[in-house]
Amino acid sequence: MNLSIENILLGASILLLISILLSRSLGKFGIPALVLFLGVGMLAGSEGIGNIHFNDPGSAQSMGTVALTIILFSGGLDTRWETTKPILWRGVSLSTVGVFITAMLLGVFVWLISDFTLLEGLLLGSIVSSTDAAAVFSILRSKNIGLKHNLRPTLELESGSNDPMAYFLTVSLTFMVVNEGEASIWSLVPMFFLQMSIGAVMGIAMGRIMAWVINRITLQQEGLYPALSLGMLIFTYAFTAVINGNGFLAVYIAGVILGNRNFIHKGSLTKFYDGVAWLMQILMFLTLGLLVFPSQMIPVLGTGMLISVFLILVARPISVFVSMVPFRSTFRDKLYISWVGLRGAVPIVFATYPMLAGVGKSNMIFNIVFFIVLTSVMLQGTTLALVARWLRLSRNDKSPKRFQLGEEMGLDMKNALVELDLTSNSTGVGKSIVELQFPKTALIVLINRGGKYVTPNGATVLEENDKLLVMIDNDSELEKVNQALGIPA
């Protein structure tokens, strides 16, 4: 078969469709979707039934960089400041101190049990030191599991912000391994603060500029707004990297700043980036699955298993407990955060940096990293919900659906539409709306009754299983609405 663009597109589309359909089917059995994407890529690779020969770490790294940029920005858009603010420094400590401790502990362990030099061991530890937000929450959300004690925003913040630290350590230690004896680890300290500072400043500035530009510019076609924001996103990463800042940190902070401001088409843009982030994640895992050679993993299975067990049971817990010393958290909280040290596609992308730099053991490092990610997703990814219940930290997420009225128009409106369900336990069932003594600032604007929509008035009698769309001015009104409807807390 000739390798034409049509054949490439045909193969890519088939892999994409197979991956999505398999994830929908096998996800019911608790198998993480990310493992399926990796598996499809490996089956389609040069040692699989697809026999697709792909051995280009440079292309994989480039695709991974673009994908990670979009994934981090999308994660920032979904980060709510009001839930993040109380646990801000806890998350920052986990994403910096925690990542550093994990990398150092694992690096020393690899040095002790293998023929790796200390620098090579630290490089391997740095590559797998960050956790994967998308992998964690795709599993938690698919099972509709909530977490107590602000654990979800803590894990979201840590996972969304720890990739920049891991990236810095990976690039720096790759340079030190290649130029061993010419660079000192102490010379990395000022470089770290410089890169992080530039990245943070650029992220804050570009987040504000994005919101200002989107609200001020008038485009004739609504479909151009995603293209406009995507252009500014890519500029943020590229320009920050050119001026020696941390581009990954910049795009994440820009996403957080933009996501917590009002701008036109906010809802549609957020959904656009959520969909593109999933697409990027699927393409990353498929590409990295194609890149791996399963036969090359067999010689490193023993070493990889030891390193993976040490990472999960020793390095990650120690890093969590040490980095959370200044903060008040229960032992069970720390234990669960330790278990949610899920590795994803990012470490595999970072493992391509030593390969392109010509590090002697780069192929061995890549295969060990791939094995660590695979075991982490299979072991931890399939037990997140179970461990949360075992530690009595899970709760059903029963928070009502909420729609901000000003999102699409970019207006600073506090009004929101909230969807509430009336059950047989609700005392409002059988009463007319005028009898409910509703707060004056709240209004039932629509009723979904068995798939038919009813425009209510004061005489409308509420029925069991009605879905009410209620407009409220602020969050304090929601409690009064629940009391009027007799909805149990």
- C-alpha atoms less than 13 angstroms from C-alpha of 123 in its C-beta half-sphere: 29
Contact (Cβ atoms closer than 8 angstroms) between residue 146 and residue 237:
no
Query: Number of folded domains in the chain?
Result: 2
Give the integer Cα–Cα distance in Å for 175 and 408: 46
Give the integer Cα–Cα distance in Å for 34 and 381: 9
**363 and 240 both lie in a single domain:** yes
Q: Which residues contact 329 (CB under 8 A, 6 or more apart)?
A: 90, 149
CATH number for the domain including 458? Answer: 3.30.70.1450
**357 and 408 both lie in a single domain:** no
Question: Which of 372, 396, 420 is the endpoint of a domain?
Answer: 396
User: Is pLDDT above 50 for 426?
Assistant: yes
Q: What is the DSSP letter of 483?
A: H
Give the pLDDT confidence of 439-449 residue by residue, as tens digits: 777 888 888 88
**270 and 123 both lie in a single domain:** yes
**329 and 466 both lie in a single domain:** no
**179 exposed, middle or buried (CB, 10 Å; 0-12, 13-18, 19+)?**
exposed
Phi/psi at 265 (nearest 5 deg)? 60, 30
Give the pLDDT confidence of 58-112 residue by residue, as tens digits: 888 888 889 889 988 988 888 888 788 888 899 899 999 999 999 999 999 999 9
CATH number for the domain including 234? Answer: 1.20.1530.20
Per-residue b/e over 400-424, b at no fewer than 16 CB within 10 Å? beeeeebbbebeeeeebbbebbbee
Q: Which residue has the higher pLDDT, 462 or 318?
A: 318
**442 and 320 both lie in a single domain:** no
What's the confidence (pLDDT) of residue 1? 47
Give the count of beta carbons closer than 10 Å to the beta carbon of residue 27: 16
Q: Per the confidence metrics, is the pTM higher than 0.85?
A: no
**452 and 378 both lie in a single domain:** no
**268 and 407 both lie in a single domain:** no
Question: Which of 374, 396, 418 is the endpoint of a domain?
Answer: 396
User: Is pLDDT above 80 for 147?
Assistant: no
**384 and 425 both lie in a single domain:** no
**422 and 481 both lie in a single domain:** yes
Contact (Cβ atoms closer than 8 angstroms) between residue 384 and residue 398:
no
- Identify the domain containing residue 452 by its residue range: 401-485
Give the pLDDT confidence of 216-254 residue by residue, as tens digits: 888 888 888 999 999 999 999 999 999 999 999 999 999
Contact (Cβ atoms closer than 8 angstroms) between residue 234 and residue 248:
no
Contact (Cβ atoms closer than 8 angstroms) between residue 301 and residue 371:
yes
Question: Which of 357, 378, 396 is the endpoint of a domain?
Answer: 396
Closest CA to 478 of 447, 452, 442: 442
Give the pLDDT confidence of 268-297 residue by residue, as tens digits: 888 899 888 888 888 887 887 888 888 878
Give the integer Cα–Cα distance in Å for 377 and 370: 11
**382 and 465 both lie in a single domain:** no
Query: Cα(first)–Cα(last) distance of the chain, in Å?
Result: 63
